Structure 1
Amino acid sequence: MLTLTHSASTAVKTIAERNADADAAGLRISTEPISGSEFSVAITPAPEPDDTVVESDGAKVFLEQNAAIALDSKILDAKTEDDGSVHFAISDQG
């Protein structure tokens, strides 16, 4: 299952809190239909019915079925830049 670093959890919570329904909102990761190997990321108010939900330190990540398979045994990390932009990175679990 996907694991979130502390930085990723903080970034996801901060971004989701901007949503009107912040209690249920989370970061949804899905695969791009054209390539199937690239990911699309968006804040959504709730998971889709078939999404896998990963929670870490209050942050919620919703994984579309193909993304859940592709990201199994991966780590999601985040870096927040000085301008407030967030960059996510995926790596293998040690």
Structure 2
Amino acid sequence: MLTLTENAATAVKNLTAQIPADTGGIRISDSGSPETGFALSLAEAPHEADSVVEADGARIFVDQAAAVALDDRVLDAQVDSEGGVSFALGVRG
């Protein structure tokens, strides 16, 4: 199952603070194209078939198609000097 670094958990919590629902999180879905990989979006709640990953108060919803590809991955995040967030996937080692 997908895991999150401490940086990723903090970034997700900061982004989802904008959602009025306590059940909110970041949703990762398969973009449908190998060139673009995955789509990230803010979501008030998971879709019915989503897997839910929780770490340090951060919630990630992963659709079924993406869950298979992300099974052994680690989500990391970096925040730039202007507050922009970049997410990256690594292999769990």
TM-score bin, normalised by smaller chain:
over 0.9
Q: CA deviation at 1:25?
A: 0.5
1:21-32 matches, cutoff 5 A: 21=21, 23-32=22-31
Gaps of 5+ in 1: none
Q: Normalization by structure 1: what TM-score? A: 0.94
What amino acid maps onto 2:26 in structure 1? L
1:20 aligns with 20
TM-score, normalised to structure 2, is: 0.95
SS at match of 1:60: strand
Q: Give every structure 1 segment of 4 or more consecutive aligned residues whose post-TM-superposition deviation is greater than 3 Å.
A: none
Equivalent position of 1:64 in the other structure = 63
- Count, aligned residues: 92
Tell me which amino acid in the other structure corresponds to 1:76. L
Match of 1:88? 87
Q: How far did 1:20 drift?
A: 1.3
CA distance in 2, matches of 1:81, 1:48: 31
**Partner Cα separation in structure 2 for residue 44 and residue 82 of structure 1:** 26
The Cα RMSD (Å) is 1.0
CA distance in 1, matches of 2:81, 2:23: 28
